[in-house]
Amino acid sequence: MEMWKRDRIVAIFMLVLSGLAYYGSRSFSEMAQIFPTYIIYVLAILSLLLLLKTFNKDNYKHIEQEVDQKTGEVKEVIEKAEVVTIDQEGKKRVLITVLATIAYIYLMNYLGFFVTTYCFMFVLFTLLKVNNLMVKIFVPLFTSAFVFLIFRVFLTVPTPKGIFF
């Protein structure tokens, strides 16, 4: 399938998802609607921009400049954008990411939000082949600490508590 067709399908899907999310968020209290509504609007705008991009086929052409060695003249070479394919390793990564996300959602209520978030991010960094051990250890740690401070301390929003946190 050509890239513009994939982008168009994704854009339409995300617009429908935005509409459903907006409809679902109407049942929230006025204060609880603010942040989700903002995120929904951003998602809808970005999806609409992607959809509009699909109608201009020039967006899907790869343009390079070549210099003719004999004349020194600059020529533009236009190539059609390549179709992106996922190799076997990529499919395996996608499957592991989906399974890790399902496990994350399931285990969150048993182990606690922050412990599960740390483990989930560590696993994803490993899956994405982040080789720097300090990044794999401290980015999930600081992310969990940041979320803890924002939601638990400042906003006093409860997060799923488990046996650890």
Break the chain into its structural domains and give their ranges: 3-80, 88-154
Mean pLDDT value across residues 42-61: 87
Instruction: Classify residue 60 by its DSSP letter.
Output: G
Q: Is the pLDDT of residue 90 over 90?
A: no
Q: DSSP 3-state assignment of 18?
A: helix
Question: Which amino acid does the sequence have at 95?
Answer: L
| Contact yes or no for 97/115 (Cβ under 8 A) | no
Q: Is the pLDDT of residue 82 over 60?
A: no
pTM: 0.55
Pairing relationship of beta strands 74-80 and 61-67 according to DSSP bridges: antiparallel
Q: Is the pLDDT of residue 66 over 60?
A: yes
What's the rounded Cα separation, in Å, for the pair 153 and 121? 22
DSSP per-residue letters across 75-115: EEEEEEPPPP---HHHHHHHHHHHHHHHHHHHHHHHH-HHH
Percent of the chain with pLDDT over 70: 84
Q: Is the pLDDT of residue 120 over 90?
A: yes
128-132, 140-144, 155-159: range with highest mean pLDDT? 140-144
Q: Is the pLDDT of residue 63 over 70?
A: no
User: Alpha carbon of 77 to those of 57, 62, 67, 113, 151: distances in Å?
Assistant: 16, 8, 10, 52, 52
Question: Which amino acid does the sequence have at 30?
Answer: E
Q: Residue 127 has which token pair? A: 């899956």
Residue 47 confidence (pLDDT): 95
Residue 76 confidence (pLDDT): 60
Mean pLDDT value across residues 59-85: 63
What's the rounded Cα separation, in Å, for the pair 61 and 70? 27
Instruction: Classify residue 157 by its DSSP letter.
Output: -
Q: Residue 158 has which token pair? A: 């409860």
Of the pLDDT bands very low, low, confident and very high (cuts 50, 70, 90), residue 84 is low
